[in-house]
Amino acid sequence: MGLPETWMKASEPYLRPGESIQTVFFGQTANPFIGALAVIPVLGLIGALIVSAAGGNRLRIFVVTTQRILVLDGNPMRPKKLADVVAELPRSIRLGPPSGLWYKIPVDGKRVRVHRRRFDGIREADRLAPSLATDR
């Protein structure tokens, strides 16, 4: 089971009756270039955790449902355990179109950065949105 499927299952307790998941993707709150320091081999896993904590980086899971968009706090070390609801966005919102290497989505007054490899999730959410509202 891949991460999207794991997060779909882990987010089920947050769903309302009759609500179903359309797509799931993730982003991060910190500048990705701070997190890039963690890949230096000398630092290893401990260094990666220190750099991540120092930068205040949080994993954000976007669970796009038929009724709303949930933004959940995730833990990269425990993907089956989602911490809490960070924000709830109306389903009619368009999240994209994404561009660049890191696309920024405003969530609760902060930016969540989504890497280009996850742009398909944003495009899928927009494609399945009930209307084409452009407000964020």
Decide yes or no: CATH 2.30.29 for domain 3-29+58-128.
yes
Task: Kindly state the DSSP code that residue 18 receives in the 8-state scheme.
Answer: T
pLDDT string in tens for the chain (136-residue length): 687 888 899 999 999 999 999 999 999 987 766 555 545 555 555 555 665 555 567 889 999 999 999 999 988 778 788 888 999 999 999 999 999 999 999 998 899 999 999 999 999 999 999 865 455 5
pTM: 0.81
b/e burial code for range 40-73 (CB count within 10 A of at least 16 → b): eeeeeeeebeebbeebebbbbbbbbbebbbbbbe
Rounded distance, CA 67 to CA 38, Å? 37
Residue 81 tokens, joined: 């355990």
* Dihedral in degrees, nearest 10, Cα atoms 98, 78, 1, 87: -40
Domain boundaries, the chain: 3-29+58-128
Q: What pLDDT is recorded for position 25? A: 96
Q: How many other CB atoms sit within 10 Å of the CB of residue 74?
A: 24
